[in-house]
Amino acid sequence: MNSKVDNQINELLQKMSIREKIGQLNMTVTPKTEAEFERTREKLRNGDVGSMILASSSTAGLDPQERVNTAMCNRVQKVAMEEGPHGIPLIYGRDVIHGHRTVYPVPLAIAAAFNDELVKKAYRYTAIEATSVGIHWTFAPMIDLCRDPRYGRIIEGPGEDPMVGRHMARAIVEGFQNGDVAQEDSMVTCPKHFIGYGASEGGRDYYRTEISDYSLYNYYLPAFREAIEAGSDTVMSSFNDINGDPVSGSRYYMTEILRDYLGFKGFVVSDWGAIAFLKRLGVTESESECAELGIHAGIEIDMCDDIYVRYLEKLIEEGKVSMETLDNAVRRVLEVKFKKNLFENPYCKMPEIDRTEHLKCARELASECMVLLKNEDNVLPLSKDKKIALLGPLVHEKRALLGSWCLEGKAEETPSFYEAMVEAVGKNHLITATDPTGLYDDSVRAMYQADVVVLALGESEKVTGEKRSLADISLPNYQIELIRKAKYSGKKVIGVFFCGRPIAMEGVADLLDAVLYAWHSGSEAAGAACDILFGETVPSGKTAITFPRNSGHIPMYYNATSNRYNGYFGNNSETSYEDSIAAPYYPFGYGLSYTEFAYSNMQSDCAEISVDDLKNGKKVKCSIDVSNVGEYEGKETIQLYIHDVAGTYMRPFRELKDYKKLLFKVGETKNITFELGYDELGYYMPDGAYVVEEGNIEVFIGPNCFAKDKIVLKVV
């Protein structure tokens, strides 16, 4: 911060009472009625509130939520500015996770696009829409690395790879903040949940985790490091413990790791009620102790449990919390408010927003994230003159296409798959069935009247997101029965899956001729799926998460430490399970196209490099020729992986280090070059030290984590 702002903050701290300072650390919900407004008004006059969350419950992603009442926000802000003790503005926060009124794909789907610039654009448009109703601060990006698709909140994050998490973190932060959070249409970001929330055992929400220091530094921290370096000024703490240490009460994680190690300078907000939750976790016997643990851990803002307001002043009087600790916490909150320019521009002007380009972006991103998993005999793309039996539980669905954590999107504005298909080919080419008995008799008759069967399958938004974990990620039996009946019809059968998470594909994909994984892809999900089905768009999505054969294989992730018995890459699979093939059904980085790409001529500009040269900035250039040898223009994501053959600690058999998504014309060949330097060739020790070790490193380039083109680089 500049000296002028520092002086202003110092002046405020000198004027504020202890109670008023504590109020800046207190977040509450916005009032909705006149009675609530009057109660809030009294709190603001007393200086008891510093921020507000625009939500009515802790599980806003699954509970019905009121839309933002901008007039009420301005009215409450006016009280804070004109009747509060020192004219300190409120900062309004809301979970703006994957769009506002224009809804983009859920983040796990967005990761499958492997298109950083398009992701950044989507979040720029999201910020424009969200700030137009008065939201200053988004509780995003969620960058919890997660390997368990049973976990409902896996849909909110980037999947299983730390490098993908880093790219997503930067793209989302830069999209929201646009270089300067002081702009009216930019948002303060809040990466969450620090740290390890996505590693909850068994995919159970709010549950315990076991994370070694080695895994913490190499897998779970990189995305947060990237978000902080990209400019995030706030971070949200998580509910979980790590190895028995509850994170929201842990000075080790919230101060020593987050601040001292990662260099975070902003403020930390707890998750909803996470400080009071410490008592339930069994590390305190009273709420007063919760407050003491939380503030000493390094959590500045207490979200919605009033723990700080009720207990901090007494803790200060008793000498258990110092004034220095309180002042430092308040300073960090005020710094962000000044950075957002809320003192000069506290009110929302409610500009009109033209969403035309936003919807175009939503369709483009939805198209790029959809993954073509199977296409036997090139059944896709479909000809528009075919008679299509359009069947399945999601044919007429609208709300599910938006996904969980969609607070402002409108289902009534979202085209259903049926409506999009009608727009694409007309009603005369579609045969549908209602099956009121649930026995699929009408569906079977429709199949026999058609040239091809398209099944709209998947899950609703109600089984994904917070508190929505599943023990079994298999497709429901009634949908599998529909697939079987379609298979027995003898017609070509295409499955379009509108899901938030990956599903178990054994016994499902093998019954289908083509599989398009369309995800919960937002406002333009149905249209984007139709574009791909009929060849208006050539599919280019790649899986950012492994698709297991069945739920019994979970957790399954490609970048496990190198053990020849894990079976993921097909090696020694017989030692993994007696009753199941150990390899994934679809691996990380996998996705088909309507065209074909050939990889050849992999080279590097040197076979040997020293650690000292790497430290001094020298890089190794690795290149490969990629050719479009098919019949369609299309995009391909070229992926570079490494394997450190022998390290002090076991290293992953494959480890993604870079990717490039490029458009290829028919017959076009491009020489793709990657650079590997010190930052790419090392890893973190359990004490957090980053090292590059001597030895052989295998470098792979290809279309997914099963890439076979390889060179060996020797580090000396």
CB 247 within 8 A of CB 237: yes
Catalytic, 116? Answer: no
Tokens of 701: 């380039």
Query: Helices 222-229 and 162-177 meet at what angle, rounded to 10?
Result: 20
Q: Of these residues, 148, 161, 271, 644, which one is catalytic?
A: 271
Contact (CB, 8 A) for 404 and 500: yes
Q: Choose among 104, 637, 112: nearest CA to 368.
A: 112
Quick check: 329 and 265 in contact, CB under 8 A? no
Asked if residues 5 and 338 have their Cβ atoms less than 8 Å apart, the reply is: yes
| Spatial CA neighbour of 51 closest among 8, 89, 5, 13 | 89
Q: What is the per-residue DSSP string for 657-686?
A: EEEEEEEE-TT-EEEEEEEE-HHHH-EE-T
Pick the closest to residue 125 from 409, 359, 358 (CA basis): 358
Alpha carbons 706 and 244: distance in angstroms, whole number: 37
Bridge partners of residue 698, in order along the sequence: 643, 712
d(CA 403, CA 519): 9
Q: What does the chain come to in residues?
A: 716
The reply to whether omega before 195 is within 30° of 0 (cis) is yes
Helix (H) or strand (E) holding 273: none
Whether the CB-CB separation of 196 and 209 falls below 8 Å is answered with yes
What is the rounded CA–CA span in Å between residue 576 and residue 581?
Answer: 8
- First-last CA distance in the chain: 44
**Amino acid type, 358:** H
Nearest to 310, CA basis, from 329, 294, 325: 294
Catalytic residue annotation: 271
